[in-house]
Amino acid sequence: MIDKEEKDAEHEAKEVKEILGVVSAEVPKLIRSLLESVFSEEAGKNMGKAAAAYYKELKNGGLPEAVAVKLTEDYMHTFTSLGDMLRNVGKGKGSGADIGEKIANAFEKKHNRDEEDE
């Protein structure tokens, strides 16, 4: 006979699984949306303006040319690295589905260990 605690645990596990299912479906959509906004023509123009303004401020602050160029390159690298990371996630490398599955598996293992301990 299944007691109330076991029923509650099963119910919670089902709820978590449903939530993770929704999350794993929605996270890739969110990432695609972010990619579209980051790599649009307008975003490119804004990134160029931001880099130019950053460089100009560095130069106006008295930094030597080589330092200003290096810092501006690093500044732009931050954006491109973020874009690369988002693209990789969007292509399934560490996708929301993978994350959801890993969390569900960890939850199930923990639940099974708790049952064994009782």
User: Which residues have a Cβ under 8 Å from the Cβ of 34 and sit 6 or more positions away?
Assistant: 86
Domain assignment of residue 51, given as a range = 24-117
Confidence of residue 95 (pLDDT cuts 50, 70, 90): very low
Q: 5 in a domain, yes or no?
A: no
pTM attached to this predicted model: 0.47
Q: What is the pLDDT of residue 74?
A: 92
Q: Is 62 left (phi over 0), alpha (psi -120 to 50) or beta?
A: left
Residue 12 lies in a domain: no
95 in any annotated domain: yes
Contact, 6 vs 94, CB < 8 A?
A: no
Contact in structure between 96 and 13 (CB atoms under 8 Å): no
Structural domain total, the chain: 1
User: Does residue 18 carry a pLDDT above 90?
Assistant: no
Outline where 3-117 has alpha helix (H): 4-38, 41-60, 65-90, 96-117
